[in-house]
Amino acid sequence: MMGQEESGGSVYKRNLSGRRLLYRCAVDMDDRGWTSLHIVSKKGDLKKRSSDEEKLDWEFSNKRYMEGDSGEEDFEEEVKRLLNEGMDVNVSAWGPKWQGVTPLHLAAQGGHLKVMDALLERGANIDARTKGACGWTPLHNAAKERNRDAIKFLVENGAFLPDDINDSRFNPPLHYCPGLEWAYEEMKRLQDENSSSAGESSYSSGS
């Protein structure tokens, strides 16, 4: 796809000057199929980023976040700015290795709780699934990276888990997702707390 190509009224243009190919349509995406919202959701503290990563994503990221001494709070604000400008909170990546990946998948993978909270507040699908035999949810991404805080956050906010951890219709194999056991521990803790609260409420009503 060299130069410009007309397709359904949209003009796609490959930018050959950057490290990644940039396809221009209604929403800018790189060759992973990531939008600026994907990239901002993926990043944590900028201090942890390599110079190569900064160069890689410069066309998508707001320059003041690239050059400043910014942290996760700035990324949270950048996520809100992009959503306020009309970016779809559930926009899916289309790259061959990333089909169906949403910004929430990437924020969960990185364990960025404030970004996750901002996305959920704006309607992100907590149970969005990637394409494939067993679609991965944001909870699976967090479990793969053993991000315990992100796992706890997602379970507390209602992320779906089947009763059986080995249910291959909904869960990937445990060796791909080692933190999944933590998710089930967290789910059991919440169920026990809810049962205890319900019991106390019933006892109070009967007194």
Q: What is the mean pLDDT of residues 40-58?
A: 53
Q: How large is the angle between the packed helices 113-121 and 72-84, nearest 10 degrees?
A: 20
Interval 77-116: pLDDT, tens: 999 999 999 999 999 998 888 899 999 999 999 999 999 9
Length of the chain: 207
Q: What separation in angstroms does the CA of 112 have from each of 10, 46, 142?
A: 34, 12, 10
pLDDT at position 165 is 96
**Averaged confidence pLDDT in the chain:** 77
Handedness of CA 17, 23, 27, 33 (dihedral sign): negative
Q: Please give the domain boundaries of the chain with CATH numbers for all domains.
A: 4-206 (1.25.40.20)
**Residue 187 has which token pair?**
């789910």
Rg of the Cα trace of the chain? 20
Least confident range of 24-33, 55-64, 148-157, 173-182:
55-64
Give pLDDT, residue 5: 39
Give the chain's count of helices (H) and strands (E). Answer: 9, 4
* Cα 73 to Cα 112: distance, rounded to the nearest angstrom: 10
Which amino acid is it at 131?
Answer: K
> Could you give the CA distance from residue 164 to residue 55 in angstroms, rounded to a whole number?
44
